[in-house]
Amino acid sequence: MTILLGITGSIAAYKAADLASQLVKLGHDVHAILTRAGAEFITPLTLQTLTRNPVLSSLEDEKQSWKPGHIDLADRASLFVVAPATANVIGNLANGLAPDPLSSIYLALPRETPALIAPAMNGKMWLHPATQRNVERLRADGCHFVGPASGDLACGYEGIGRLAPVDEIVAEIGRILAK
């Protein structure tokens, strides 16, 4: 199965390396899409090495083919995953904004392609009515969610907002793909 793995600007982005590695070991063809903010936390080289595929991080990266890379990836996807997903990216997806390859791919997905979002952010941001409204909109559009989990947060707070454990994300991916 072809899994598109979006990584956004959260401290939890480093866990995407483990997620990508586990998915490859399960036999999936994983393509990483890294936002500019995500690249502040994990490098494209790390993800490229683990997935054995080029990493898409800019629409300017799409010059290899006559068909835009974000359209090609959307057409080939068995599953679209964003882990970690920031409030910003959740807002872009919920409102149909496409300022980067990740959100452009989401908008280009065939309707039957499932999407899984694993939020990671400060608990106040997660609980904010705007974020909750965006999550409900995405759920209404058919998106699946895993997490966020509770515990110690990178910002020094304790509570909800942690990225779900990688094993839980992998299990949810398996459940979605089994349908």
Residue bearing tokens 């919920």: 94
Catalytic pick from 141, 155, 158, 175?
155
Measured CA to CA, the distance from residue 62 to residue 128 in angstroms comes to 35
Count other C-beta atoms under 10 Å from residue 129's C-beta: 7
Distance in angstroms (rounded) separating the CA atoms of residues 17 and 99? 24
* Nearest Cα residue to 87 out of 42, 119, 41, 39: 119
- The reply to whether 155 belongs to the active site is yes
Residues catalogued as catalytic: 155
